[in-house]
Structures are given as C-alpha cells and as structure tokens.
Amino acid sequence: MSQLRAVALNELVLDPARLYRDAWGLLTAGTREDFNSMTVSWGCFGELWGKPVTQVFVRDSRYTFEFMDKSDYFTVCFFEKKMRPQLMVLGSQSGRDMDKMHASGFTPVFFPHGIAYEEAVLCLVCRKLYAHNFSKENFYDQEIYQEIYGEGGFHREFIAEVEKAYVRA
C-alpha cells in the first residue's frame, strides 16, 4: 500500500525557491504504459486565474517535452536530499537512451491523474492550463537570451493548476 497520503492544499507550507532550486523536483508526464521523468530546478508557485498554480520550464530537446505536450496532467515530486544522486541521473541522461526508471530504483505510483513516486516526500498533481515558448523578441534582458538560448532551442513554459498534493504518511 502506498505511503503517500492526500493533503488539502491549504495545509501545505511551500517555499518555492527552496523546493525547486534547492530540493529539485522530478517532473513526470505520460500514461501508465508510457511515461517519462526528468529533474527540474526551475519552477514557480503562485496564484493565477483564481487558482493555485505552478510553472515549469521544459526545453524542447528533452524527451519529457513530448510527454508534456501530449498529457493533460503532470506531476512534480520532491525528495529528501539523500536522493540527489538518483535525481542527478534522471537530470543528466535521457529516457530516449536508457530505462531511466529502472536505473533510478524509484517506484511509480499511479494516481487517477498522473504518475508519481513512492519515495517522494511531496507529490503535486498538476493540470495543464497554458503553455507558451520563450522567444528572443520578448526578452527585455537580451543577455539572458544569449546565455541560455544563444545556441538554439527554447524552453516551453507550462502553467498548471495544482489540483492535488500528497505527502509521505
């Protein structure tokens, strides 16, 4: 039986910068039969359109990008710091080239919407609301554009409603 229990969103005290930047997240999209996960450390939480939202930024070259595009839902899972080695593997190798889940040793949990991991301390189930691609003309700070996108590619921003949260029991 899963150790993850559902909690009301207003019970959560989230420190967005700490969660994404310091704890890193594991973003997962797809179906029970076919899904993929990648590590993310760029992300935001907030309120938009009267809903609690998160934003994640997925580069077009990622295999996960294809799953994000096709899925109505995705999850972001957060882990204890001791899981960093696994998150480093999931954030440096592509699911195109390896069986990531087998290599990470994480145990998938299949929610009615979204796939999370048993080893996580916090899992957020997110429903996509909006997506758009960053573009050169819209950067007020062209130095960032040059530094991050100067050699090609872009990130797609996904804004999603945080519908459900699960924490370790």
Binding residues (CB under 6 A) for ligand FMN: these are 24, 36, 38-42, 57-59, 62-64, 88, 91-96, 155
Of 76 and 125, which has the nearer Cβ to ligand FMN? 76
- Shortest approach of ligand FMN to residue 94 CB, angstroms? 3
Of 63 and 134, which has the nearer Cβ to ligand FMN? 63
- Shortest approach of ligand FMN to residue 58 CB, angstroms? 5
Given the structure tokens 């594991």, which residue do they identify? 26
Of 40 and 125, which has the nearer Cβ to ligand FMN? 40
Q: Among all residues, whose Cβ is closest to ligand FMN?
A: 91
Tokens of 47: 């309120």
Of 38 and 109, which has the nearer Cβ to ligand FMN? 38
- Secondary structure string (H, E, C) spanning the chain: CCCEEEECHHHCCCCHHHHHHHHCEEEEEECCCCEEEEEECCEEEEEECCEEEEEEEEECCCHHHHHHHHCCEEEEEECCHHHHHHHHHHCCCCCCCCCHHHHHCCCEEECCCCEEECCCCEEEEEEEEEEEECCHHHCCCHHHHHHHHCCCCCEEEEEEEEEEEEEEC
- Shortest approach of ligand FMN to residue 103 CB, angstroms? 11
- Shortest approach of ligand FMN to residue 71 CB, angstroms? 13
- Shortest approach of ligand FMN to residue 29 CB, angstroms? 9
Of 42 and 149, which has the nearer Cβ to ligand FMN? 42
